[in-house]
Chain A
């Protein structure tokens, strides 16, 4: 899990080096990430973990924080 978080932090920080992703938990509501970012994040997760996020998992709940995203990746890796 820590390893997943580390990689996600790198991915997210590439997009917004000025945001503290360790604490931010309203990435969608506060419009910190937008549709461009979602596309990039999904593509980068695919590159890094070889995991495809299906449409039914692309919902705000999974993208609001690094923690939630890490949880999702971890679940998908277990499947």
Chain B
């Protein structure tokens, strides 16, 4: 039985050594090249005495980053990918959480890394891969590996202002890769166009099926997601047939009449998720690609990538959201009410997930872990953890699962999962800010920040850029003389939303 994610690669490299595995703007890694590089990385770590510990990977998005991830896994360690554009202040919080002894950088990131590294040793990829690979010793580590050991930690927004690191093991990732591949029909002929950043679990969809099947993944240059016609040209030029993108990347293409000028010629599989797909935009996609398969995916990072799928095959009512459908094989959804019992009929309940997909929890954070990873309330006979997503869902009359809303202030913005509380905690830490309240205006997909205090808007934004990743920055900031409160003294978010609507209406009148 397979118990190591790299077993996929060990088989594939013998079968198609010269085929391109991962391609970026600058370089192509064949399966043989990937295999050699990852063994150099693993040998370097092994010789340095690193084992069963987090290794930070702080590199520009490239095929080299992917080879580094696999090298870290082969050494028996787990990779912690960090967005190279993340402000130093937030990276420091991550360092405090996982206390890595080593960080692998590249020539473009090393300088920045040294500003926040502290006790963490920094090495450069270009040096690491000069290590003469010791194939047999690395294979030995892999053979002795346990599938319950972590292979990565990815950090996600935390409502108190501190990011939470989700750790996942071999077994969960193998389960996910198998179920996802079967559901979306990946094969050796699959040509992926990767959109998602490498510092989230979203990229598992391309990384692991590529080594499983001997498929090919193109890392689509990020700039292209600003320019829809060029993006479609790229898809055609590379003959990309499979994309798993966030909805906002898909609507970026459909919203501006791109299909009237150019259409994707090779796309057969379009998977999307993380957000509600506006119906009008979805229709445009379906009309442009009548023969393609469209699949809605749903799932939290805490349950390894995605957990549910819905093949959009039947016609949908105009006011009907695209369902999240049903769980993958070997995953189960429990819709629980406030008393921890299964809901009946079309009653909404919290989406709770059980299965091998449930990850190991939040790294070095027992408190947050025990809040969300809990004993299955439906049985008390033996220990069994389920994950409470905080999402409300219900079954429609066809028995398909439908997303209803969040239970808290977590939002999905341009495919990113964000706690409004994390933005607020950072704003409150700025000198001179007295109070702040953040709202998400769904209709226009904008994060709006209201605050009371001394700094002007420009100064505040400049400070926030030093603390928050780009996708968490408010799209609009408004300074107030007074913050509206509710009767029991909380910031009145309903009123803030009204204030924003009034401002929009005001604009219209002008």
Contacts and interface: CB of A to CB of B under 8 A. Distances in A.
B248 A39 contact: yes
A55 B226 CA distance: 10
Interface of B: 222-223, 225-230, 248-249, 252-253, 256-258, 260-261, 414, 444-446, 456-462, 465, 470-471, 475-477, 507-508
Given A34-B470, A36-B414, A39-B248, A59 B227 contact: yes
Contacts of B471: 36
A15 B475 contact: yes
A39 B446 CA distance: 11
Contacts of A48: 507
A54 B257 contact: yes
> Which 4 pairs between the two chains have the least Cβ-Cβ distance?
A55-B258, A17-B458, A18-B462, A55-B256
A53 B462 contact: no
Interface residues of A, number: 26
A48 B360 CA distance: 49
A56 interface: yes
Interface in A10-55: 14-18, 28, 33-36, 38-40, 42-43, 47-48, 52-55
Nearest to B259: A55
Nearest to A36: B414
Contact of B229 (A33, A39, A47, A56): A56
A58 B458 contact: no
A56 B252 CA distance: 13
Interface string A63-76: 10000000000000
* Residue among A36, A47, A59 with max Cβ neighbours from chain B (10 Å): A36
A25 to B, nearest CB: 17
Contacts of B462: 18
A47 B465 contact: no
Nearest to B470: A34
10 contacts: A33-B226, A35-B249, A38-B226, A38-B252, A39-B414, A47-B508, A55-B253, A55-B257, A58-B229, A59-B230
